[in-house]
């Protein structure tokens, strides 16, 4: 089935987030080192970004490295950091050619200097691009993000800069890593795992979730189109009932 041709072009999610899972297990099944899976997964990043751009997904967030990933074996972490540096450096021209802007979320200050240098360089060189925004979640923890937002708001309250009743969803959003970015309508996780894993906990409150058994290195454009096709078959009610939504549609 060609899912791309079946998509309703008027109902494309503005923001898609992906937990790229299964690189290590993919490599193990093939008798390879885990880093081979991570390296092969870079092509799936290209596939997902190309697919998102083709159907006008405005924001694509990829969970690339969590704060918990530092607990992996040192050789794997070091290899991931080297892969990240080389990939970013090699992809800048491609990002510019495809009008893609790069952003990051997470505590990137704690990344190795070489990683931070390449990230800042890529962000600067793509900042004028107007197409899909590629957001890499690096050294990211949703719990830490929320904790830092709470601290920032509490500090403003302590200084008398805000009143208690001014603390609302909008104010919290302004203190998150994703300030100014719409929440994802769709979150995809590969490899068959069915959990969120400390990813965008605030932002995913009303997101549709799609879990696929496909390992990330095998994730292709058609897999993204299928996830969006299934997203389009769901009724997003946000606490309402279907009849209320139907009545709203009639009045539009």
Helix (H, G, I), strand (E, B) or coil at 64: strand
Exposure of 68 in the CB half-sphere (CA atoms within 13 A): 7
| Dist. CA 206–CA 235, nearest whole Å | 12
**Annotation marks residue 69 as catalytic:** yes
Name every residue whose Cβ is closer than 8 Å to that of residue 131 and which is 6 or more positions away in sequence: 53, 98, 99, 100, 101
Name every residue whose Cβ is closer than 8 Å to that of residue 93 and which is 6 or more positions away in sequence: none
**Annotation marks residue 23 as catalytic:** no
- Among candidate residues 11, 21, 93, 109, the one labeled active-site is 21
- Among candidate residues 2, 23, 56, 69, the one labeled active-site is 69
What H or E segment, with its residue span, contains residue 61? strand 59-66
Q: Which of 38, 43, 10, 14 is nearest to 178 (CA)?
A: 14
8 Å CB contact between 148 and 116:
no
Catalytic residues: 21, 69
């Amino acid at each position: 089935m060609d899912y791309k041709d079946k998509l309703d072009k008027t109902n494309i999610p503005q923001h898609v987030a992906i937990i790229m899972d299964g690189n290590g297990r993919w490599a193990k099944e093939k008798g390879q080192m885990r880093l081979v899976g991570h390296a092969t997964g870079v092509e799936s990043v290209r596939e997902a970004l190309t697919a998102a751009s083709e159907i006008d997904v405005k924001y694509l967030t990829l969970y690339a490295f969590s704060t918990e990933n530092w607990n992996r074996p040192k050789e794997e972490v070091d290899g991931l950091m080297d892969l990240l540096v080389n990939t970013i450096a090699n992809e800048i021209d491609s990002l510019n050619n495809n009008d893609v802007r790069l952003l990051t979320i997470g505590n990137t200050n704690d990344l190795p200097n070489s990683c931070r240098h390449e990230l800042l360089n890529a962000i600067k060189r793509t900042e004028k691009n107007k197409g899909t925004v590629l957001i890499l979640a690096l050294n990211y923890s949703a719990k830490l993000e929320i904790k830092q937002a709470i601290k920032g708001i509490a500090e403003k309250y302590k200084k008398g800069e805000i009143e208690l009743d001014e603390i609302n969803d909008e104010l919290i959003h302004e203190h998150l890593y994703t300030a100014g970015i719409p929440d994802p309508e769709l979150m995809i996780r590969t490899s068959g795992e069915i959990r969120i894993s400390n990813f965008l906990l605030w932002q995913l409150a009303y997101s549709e979730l799609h879990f696929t058994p496909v390992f990330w290195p095998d994730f292709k454009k058609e897999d993204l189109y299928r996830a969006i096709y299934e997203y389009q078959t769901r009724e997003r009610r946000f606490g309402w009932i279907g009849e209320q939504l139907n009545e709203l549609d009639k009045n539009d």
